């Protein structure tokens, strides 16, 4: 597990967010957050390992916001707000990680690419990086 994933899971522990790491399940089984049960299920066997930090940060975002994760529920058109709110928290957590460990990026695009953050969040990252 990467340093950043460990950092995020420690953040979850510090904030009393329950989680279970699943490493024996199918690699395409999505992670999910169930705030009402204070539980996240993280598939550490995810087929895109480079996405794992963003996945964990995203699910923590749901837990902090109190929204369930519907990322893979294609029917939930109205749930896009919850997804985007979770991604905004995720970006904050990843920026905080970089700050804590003195990791610098030459551009916000590199930050997006490093953590597999969708490019449509470019303007948010840009704004937050300028403020820091
Ligand atoms: Zn989600």
Q: Where are the domains of the chain?
A: 3-102
* Alpha-carbon gap, residue 132 to 124, rounded angstroms: 13
Could you give the angle at which helices 52-65 and 3-14 cross, rounded to 10 degrees? Answer: 20
Residue among 82, 88, 95 nearest 7 (CA)? 95
Render pLDDT for 69-99 as a digit per residue (tens, 0 to 9).
Answer: 765 555 565 577 888 999 999 999 999 999 9
What is the whole-number distance in angstroms between the Cα of residue 55 and the centre of ligand 1? 8
What is the whole-number distance in angstroms between the Cα of residue 117 and the centre of ligand 1? 13
Residue 46 has pLDDT above 80, yes or no: yes
CATH no. of 3-102: 1.10.10
Burial (0-12, 13-18, 19+ Cβ within 10 Å), 62 = buried
């Amino acid at each position: 597990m990467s340093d950043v994933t460990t950092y995020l899971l420690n953040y979850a522990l510090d904030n009393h967010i329950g989680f279970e790491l699943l490493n024996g399940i199918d690699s395409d089984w999505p992670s999910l957050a169930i705030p009402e049960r204070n539980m996240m299920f993280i598939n550490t066997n995810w087929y895109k390992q480079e996405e794992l930090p963003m996945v964990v940060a995203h699910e923590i975002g749901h837990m902090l916001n109190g929204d369930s994760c519907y990322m893979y529920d294609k029917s939930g058109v109205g749930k896009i707000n919850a997804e985007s709110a979770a991604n905004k928290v995720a970006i904050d957590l990843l920026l905080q990680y970089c700050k804590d460990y003195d990791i610098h990026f030459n551009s916000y695009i590199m930050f997006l690419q490093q953590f597999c953050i969708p490019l449509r969040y470019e303007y948010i990252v840009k704004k937050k990086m300028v403020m820091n």
